[in-house]
Chains A and B, each alone.
Chain A
Amino acid sequence: MQVFRKLGWFFKREWRSYTLGIIMLLLVALLELVPPQVIGFVIDHITESTLTGNILMQYVVLLIGVALLTYIVRYFWRIMIFGASYRLGRILRNRLYRKYSEMSPGFYQKRRTGDLMAHATNDIQAVQATAGAGILTIADSLITGGAVLITMAVTISPKLTLITMIPLPLMVILTSYYGRLLNRGFKKAQAAFSRLNDKTQESVAGIKVTKTFGYEESDHEDFRSLSDEVVEKNLKVSKVDALFDPTIMSVIGMSYFLSILFGARMVLDETISIGQLVTFTTYLGMMVWPLLALGWFFNLVQRGRASYDRIEEVMLTRNDIGTDYRIEDAPDGDIAFDIGAFNFPEDETAGLRDIDFTVEKGMTLGIVGRTGSGKSALIRLLLREFDTVNPDDIMYGGHAIRDYELKNLRSRFGYVPQDHFLFSATIRDNIAFSNPGLDDRTVSEAARLSHIHDDIKSFPDGYGTVVGERGVSLSGGQKQRISIARALVLDPEVLILDDSLSAVDAETEERILANMQSARTGKTNIITAHRMSAVSHADLIIVMDHGTVIERGTHGELMDLQGWYHDTYNAQALREELESSLDELVERGDE
């Protein structure tokens, strides 16, 4: 019931729908009481031969009226109650999405996409069911059950009612007992199914090994025995599941028997008429559903509560970066890093220490170093994916970056991430992601600068080509260049390329860098790279290792230093030479 209290805000908001809905349910319950009474009266009139055309007419008209009215009321309570529950689903989904869009990457690091999805799908579904079917079942079982019970007792006989009700608790007890058994068995069946799932997954992933050793047959046998287990566990569930109907039938049969047996005596005593007995048994049939509904209700509420708690937990999670700001304007000027020490939450190894350098406005900064040396960590701190220990660790235009409104800070950056994520949309929409209203010329200009325009033109639908899961598959290099265009189209104050040229060849890289240089005079660029050639033109190059700066200077200075940069640069140059000599060889071969 706790979940209803927690959903209080919603019921308050939708009180009209629920009040009307429940009043209508009450009305339906009352209307449903009429036909059995009419049946009884008509039968009595028939047996006592007192039926006249007029009376019959009245009853038939009454029934038709009841039928039509019930139809209308039934139609509307559904709209009231189910409609409200769908609105709850809609609200929760929107809120959850909003929450997700406000959370910093730290939040996403701690949670799996699957779980976040499950909150928005299964959990919302369960809460929605509580507010819809849950309210329906409890209202129906209380209202209909109560109304029928009272009517039986008042209009026919309290004693007979009491007697025939004796077996009914047995039905509630047995079915809820089956429910528990079923739950347990269902879990086992589910476990067997997930073993089968794992097996299938493993077989598909290891298909090459299986084929190499020629074990398809044995693998098949293994699968067969697992699938036997699935059947076996499911049949155990079936054995319980199949008990429900016969049990309900038998219990109702017992009540039936009691009502006829004792009812017959009362008919002989002339305490009740035959018609009343028939009315009574008809009412008896109407008691089944409210009793079963009671069981469903508890089930629904239980699931709804667990789901709502999970959703609430997410909704109440606090962002791990601060959102207060002091400066209204967007930042401008130099960016100064002065980080004493920083560790990512829950990760001792990948930290930064003793970082101290300044990126002057209009300058191109290159950051190089091995994987895990801390290049990306610097970028992530600058973008405020995480907050530094001291506010002053990163300053932009003379103020700490967290003094600015997040929106304003971000508006200065054009960011190209390592993992070139594209949306399932057209290429145009992906490039114009920051502003769908951009004109085609601006978009194609950015694509030209990123050296992807010609590729796009070669696709069947050009800029209208859909990418992503449901669209064409692009090469890593193409994706990277589109995400570069996505950042360039903003003409940002600070362009950040986070190892974003790794999948393009050296020649293309050179052209993109040259394009950038000419198009971005006076603007700041920050480039992290594995390939030294990507940063060799930079005004300042920082070499990082184990979270700190080990070399700094221009390309010339670093080459003179004969350190890591020098060695890596030479090795990569040699590799370039090898590749081009291979190309030459092929060209020669083709002639």
Chain B
Amino acid sequence: MEENTYNLTFNDQKRVLIRLMKYTLPFRKVLMAGFLMLIISTVAGVATPYIVMIFIDEYLTPGVFPESDITWLIVIFFLVQVVGAVTTYMQIYLFQYLAFRVIQQLRIDAFSKIGRLGMRYFDKVPGGSVVSRLTNDTEAIVEMFIGVLATFLMAFFMVISSFIMMFVLDFKLALFALIFMPVIVLILAVYRRYSANFFSHARQLLSDLNAKLAEGIEGMKIIQVFNQEKRLRNEFEQINEMHYRYNMKNVKLDGLLLRPAISMISVLAIALILSYFGLLSFGGTVTAGVVFAFLQYMERFFEPINQVSQNLNIFQQALVSASRVFALIDDGRTEPAQNGNEDYGITAGRVEFRNVTFSYDGKVDVLKDISFTAEPGQTVALVGHTGSGKSSIINLFMRFYEFEKGEILIDGQSIRELPKKEMKEKIGLVLQDPFIFYGTVESNIRLYHQDMSFGQVKEAARFVRADKFIQKLPGDYSHKVIEKGSAFSSGERQLIAFARTMAMDPKILILDEATANIDSETEEEIQKSLERMQQGRTTLAIAHRLSTIQDADQIIVLNRGEIAERGTHDELIRTGGIYHKMYQLQNGQGEMS
């Protein structure tokens, strides 16, 4: 939202534009071909009046029509028409091709950046705005490429070629005609100056209007209960009125300086041409064809100016969009770096946290000097209420965030040194809210693991006991998942997520409140699956229901970033501390929110 209002300085605009233009470099050939077509079509365009001129002056005025000459002229006329049409087509197509390819590359760059951004970025930036960078903003740039740059190029060539032809026909008159140039430039400059201002005002007012409207819809209940309909309606109407006034200012400005003004100049240009040739005809010979051709070129000179001037505002908006996309691509909040020493690997799966201190914002430590060890095959459970730091431990272990103090080791090696691939393959994480992707049940278990056989997919599902419910689905493994798996129960979704993790056969298993959202009917099933999954794997588990971690080799009770208690279930019950109270609470009353 906050980016809606910002305007770019001239230098920023230039920088963004240059960077955008660099994206065309890989498509040099297309660009060249497009230019070539543009040149040919422009030449064909200016040739037509020239041919007509020859026809009028050489044959029509004298009234002589040698058959072969006329035939040739007709052939050339049609040839020029065909070449003009074909090259125009090619030229338009090639420039659009270029635009779409450039935007595709820009989108791909932005998307791959998303993969490299750290969770820190996603904490701060709402998902919707990231998506909008990639889609809406890039779409605005497409508009600019097609609507502005291509039109601008064409217009430029047309203006130049018309001028050249005018110079060819009559040097002196062309020179006279040049005086319109500074007038037009001046008009456009004045227009730019005021319209940029009016346009951004009108835009701002429109976005205020929409914000008021959205807020009105969302908060209508409050507005009504407090009897404030009338007041807010008045506020809305006031902005609406302002918006109308700015629109009218825009209409007036357009009317004063755009088409009406340019058209007036073009009629004045006709007056100039006619008086020039008229005066010339008193002393010498002026042919009808030349007058005709000159008028045609003058006409061609004005039309593109009309087109370009109306698209200038799109241009500015697109540059703002482009700068936002580039800001995403340049964002420094990337994921923690992995040194990736190829000799390192995860073998036994011994996990150690050594004096780890961590803070999200650099001010408040959410983990303070945490040390613990999980021996290969052991299960360590992390317990504590919201904000105690248990999720942060997992976030660090999964390398979602970089930590500054202390060390996290797997099999005695720093997790910073392990190759990324090794980390991803040997560590399996099950989240509280299993994310189900668009696709089938099979594709959700397999994800992007292409060399996994269908047998392995089925085996993973069977292992976590997901096979029973999957087989009941229409089309079983190829059953289409709708709307993020909303047709499945939370337990079924979690089972799919289990299978997804088990299919990788990880060495270390991380359970981030894997049973928190499960309804009690399926809980027992899930619990059995979880037990099987933990066998032979080092497991770090965050649990909500204490009943699920009673068998853990070690239970760590966290409180405000510190380890408050640790030990086995029996030991902690005996000590009679926090864990004991929590356990009583859950067992006695069954409910804890």
> What is the distance, in angstroms, from B398's C-beta to the closest C-beta of chain A?
6
How long is the Cα–Cα vector from A43 to B290 in the complex, in angstroms? 10
State whether B437 touches A257 (Cβ < 8 A): no
State whether A74 touches B260 (Cβ < 8 A): yes
How long is the Cα–Cα vector from A56 to B248 in the complex, in angstroms? 40
> What is the distance, in angstroms, from B293's C-beta to the closest C-beta of chain A?
10
How long is the Cα–Cα vector from A38 to B52 in the complex, in angstroms? 20
Cβ-closest chain A residue relative to B212: A97
Query: With A46-B277, A582-B578 in contact, is A60–B271 under 8 Å at CB?
Result: yes
Query: Which residues in B have their C-beta under 8 angstroms from that of A246?
Result: 84-86, 88-89
Contact with A along B426-449 (1 / 0, CB 8 A): 011101000101100000000110
State whether B581 touches A578 (Cβ < 8 A): yes
How long is the Cα–Cα vector from A210 to B444 in the complex, in angstroms? 12
Q: How large is the interface on A (under 10, 10 to 19, 20 to 34, 35 or more residues)?
A: 35 or more
How long is the Cα–Cα vector from A230 to B61 in the complex, in angstroms? 56
How long is the Cα–Cα vector from A238 to B219 in the complex, in angstroms? 43
How long is the Cα–Cα vector from A574 to B263 in the complex, in angstroms? 84
State whether A35 touches B100 (Cβ < 8 A): no
State whether B225 touches A213 (Cβ < 8 A): no
Query: With A74-B263, A216-B116 in contact, is A64–B255 under 8 Å at CB?
Result: no
Please report which residues of chain B, range 272-295, place their CB below 8 angstroms from some CB of chain A when the two chains form the complex. 274-275, 277-279, 281-282, 286-288, 291-292, 295
State whether A581 touches B271 (Cβ < 8 A): no
How long is the Cα–Cα vector from A230 to B231 in the complex, in angstroms? 46
State whether B213 touches A567 (Cβ < 8 A): no
Contact with B along A442-482 (1 / 0, CB 8 A): 00000000000000000000000000111000000000000
Q: Which of B90, B255, B424 has the most CB of A within 10 A?
A: B255
Query: Which residues in B have their C-beta under 8 angstroms from that of A421?
Result: 218-219, 221-222
Contact with A along B229-244 (1 / 0, CB 8 A): 1011100110011011
**Does residue B308 face the partner (Cβ distance < 8 Å to A)?**
no
Contact with B along A105-118 (1 / 0, CB 8 A): 10010000100110
Query: Which residues in A have their C-beta under 8 angstroms from that of B271?
Result: 59-60, 63-64, 67
Q: Which of A67, A68, A116, A198 has the most CB of B within 10 A?
A: A67
**Does residue B327 face the partner (Cβ distance < 8 Å to A)?**
no
Query: Which residues in A have their C-beta under 8 angstroms from that of B560?
Result: 586
Q: How large is the interface on B (under 10, 10 to 19, 20 to 34, 35 or more residues)?
A: 35 or more
**Does residue A271 face the partner (Cβ distance < 8 Å to B)?**
no
Contact with B along A208-231 (1 / 0, CB 8 A): 111111111111101110011011
Query: Which residues in B have their C-beta under 8 angstroms from that of A97?
Result: 213, 216, 233, 236-237, 240
Interface residue from B104, B211, B431 paired with A231 (Cβ < 8 Å): B104
Query: With A218-B448, A571-B591 in contact, is A117–B214 under 8 Å at CB?
Result: yes
State whether A469 touches B1 (Cβ < 8 A): yes
**Does residue B227 face the partner (Cβ distance < 8 Å to A)?**
yes
**Does residue A415 face the partner (Cβ distance < 8 Å to B)?**
yes
State whether A214 touches B424 (Cβ < 8 A): yes
Interface residue from A212, A245, A417 paired with B92 (Cβ < 8 Å): A245
Interface residue from B231, B385, B431, B564 paired with A209 (Cβ < 8 Å): B431
Interface residue from A211, A239, A411 paired with B335 (Cβ < 8 Å): A211
How would you classify the secondary structure of chain B's contact residues: helix, strand, loop or mixed? helix
Cβ-closest chain B residue relative to A69: B264
Query: Which residues in A have their C-beta under 8 angstroms from that of B127?
Result: 201, 204-205
**Does residue B504 face the partner (Cβ distance < 8 Å to A)?**
yes
**Does residue A315 face the partner (Cβ distance < 8 Å to B)?**
no
Query: With A207-B122, A278-B292 in contact, is A470–B2 under 8 Å at CB?
Result: yes
Please report which residues of chain B, range 522-573, place their CB below 8 angstroms from some CB of chain A when the two chains form the complex. 559-560, 562, 564
Query: Which residues in A have their C-beta under 8 angstroms from that of B100?
Result: 230-231, 234-235, 238
Determine, out of A5-13, A85-93, A143-151, the stretch whose residues face the partner at the interface: A85-93
Cβ-closest chain B residue relative to A468: B215
Contact with A along B243-264 (1 / 0, CB 8 A): 1100110011011100111011
> What is the distance, in angstroms, from B54's C-beta to the closest C-beta of chain A?
11
State whether A470 touches B1 (Cβ < 8 A): yes
> What is the distance, in angstroms, from B189's C-beta to the closest C-beta of chain A?
19
How long is the Cα–Cα vector from A51 to B278 in the complex, in angstroms? 7
How long is the Cα–Cα vector from A196 to B107 in the complex, in angstroms? 10
How long is the Cα–Cα vector from A490 to B111 in the complex, in angstroms? 51
State whether A235 touches B227 (Cβ < 8 A): no
Interface residue from A79, A210, A256, A423 paired with B255 (Cβ < 8 Å): A79
Cβ-closest chain A residue relative to B2: A470
**Does residue A82 face the partner (Cβ distance < 8 Å to B)?**
yes
State whether A433 touches B431 (Cβ < 8 A): no
**Does residue A516 face the partner (Cβ distance < 8 Å to B)?**
no
> What is the distance, in angstroms, from B95's C-beta to the closest C-beta of chain A?
9
Cβ-closest chain B residue relative to A41: B274
Interface residue from B221, B335, B431, B562 paired with A385 (Cβ < 8 Å): B221
How would you classify the secondary structure of chain A's contact residues: helix, strand, loop or mixed? helix
Query: Which residues in B have their C-beta under 8 angstroms from that of A578?
Result: 578, 581-582, 585
State whether B263 touches A209 (Cβ < 8 A): no
Q: Which of A66, A117, A223 has the most CB of B within 10 A?
A: A223
Contact with A along B1-27 (1 / 0, CB 8 A): 110000000000000000000000000
Query: Which residues in B have their C-beta under 8 angstroms from that of A579?
Result: 385
Determine, out of B130-138, B168-176, B402-410, the stretch whose residues face the partner at the interface: B130-138
Cβ-closest chain B residue relative to A420: B222
**Does residue A275 face the partner (Cβ distance < 8 Å to B)?**
yes
> What is the distance, in angstroms, from B25's C-beta to the closest C-beta of chain A?
18
**Does residue A200 face the partner (Cβ distance < 8 Å to B)?**
yes
How long is the Cα–Cα vector from A267 to B236 in the complex, in angstroms? 66
**Does residue A100 face the partner (Cβ distance < 8 Å to B)?**
yes
How long is the Cα–Cα vector from A283 to B437 in the complex, in angstroms? 61
Interface residue from A56, A93, A468, A571 paired with B274 (Cβ < 8 Å): A56
State whether B588 touches A43 (Cβ < 8 A): no
State whether A70 touches B211 (Cβ < 8 A): no
Query: Which residues in A have their C-beta under 8 angstroms from that of B425?
Result: 214
How long is the Cα–Cα vector from A102 to B226 in the complex, in angstroms? 13
Query: Which residues in A have their C-beta under 8 angstroms from that of B107?
Result: 196, 223, 227
> What is the distance, in angstroms, from B146's C-beta to the closest C-beta of chain A?
8
> What is the distance, in angstroms, from A438's C-beta to the closest C-beta of chain B?
12
State whether A89 touches B229 (Cβ < 8 A): no
Query: Which residues in B have their C-beta under 8 angstroms from that of A571?
Result: 585, 588-589, 591
State whether A253 touches B279 (Cβ < 8 A): no
Cβ-closest chain A residue relative to B87: A246
Query: Which residues in A have their C-beta under 8 angstroms from that of B167?
Result: none
State whether A209 touches B220 (Cβ < 8 A): no
State whether B256 touches A423 (Cβ < 8 A): no
> What is the distance, in angstroms, from A397's C-beta to the closest C-beta of chain B?
19
Interface residue from B228, B247, B288, B500 paired with A434 (Cβ < 8 Å): B228
**Does residue B96 face the partner (Cβ distance < 8 Å to A)?**
yes
State whether A212 touches B131 (Cβ < 8 A): no
**Does residue B359 face the partner (Cβ distance < 8 Å to A)?**
no
Contact with B along A252-285 (1 / 0, CB 8 A): 0100110010001001100000110110011001
- Further 7 A-B residue pairs, CB within 8 A, beyond A71-B260, A211-B335, A253-B85: A39-B291, A46-B278, A67-B264, A246-B86, A411-B227, A470-B1, A490-B226
Give 21 A-B contacts (CB < 8 Å), ordered by A residue: A39-B274, A46-B277, A51-B281, A56-B274, A93-B240, A100-B213, A197-B131, A206-B435, A210-B115, A214-B425, A216-B116, A219-B448, A227-B107, A245-B88, A256-B48, A260-B52, A274-B56, A282-B295, A470-B2, A571-B585, A582-B385
Give chain B's interface residues, CB within 8 Å of chain A. Answer: 1-2, 48, 52, 55-56, 60-61, 63, 74, 77-78, 81, 84-86, 88-90, 92-93, 96-97, 100-101, 104, 107-108, 111-112, 114-116, 119, 122, 127, 130-131, 134-135, 139, 209-211, 213-229, 231-233, 236-237, 240-241, 243-244, 247-248, 251-252, 254-256, 259-261, 263-265, 267-268, 270-271, 274-275, 277-279, 281-282, 286-288, 291-292, 295, 299, 335, 385, 398, 400, 420-421, 423-425, 427-429, 431, 435, 437-438, 447-448, 450, 500, 504, 559-560, 562, 564, 578, 581-582, 584-585, 588-589, 591-592
Q: Which 10 A-B pairs have the closest CB atoms?
A: A214-B424, A218-B448, A216-B115, A571-B589, A67-B267, A74-B260, A246-B85, A242-B92, A63-B271, A238-B96
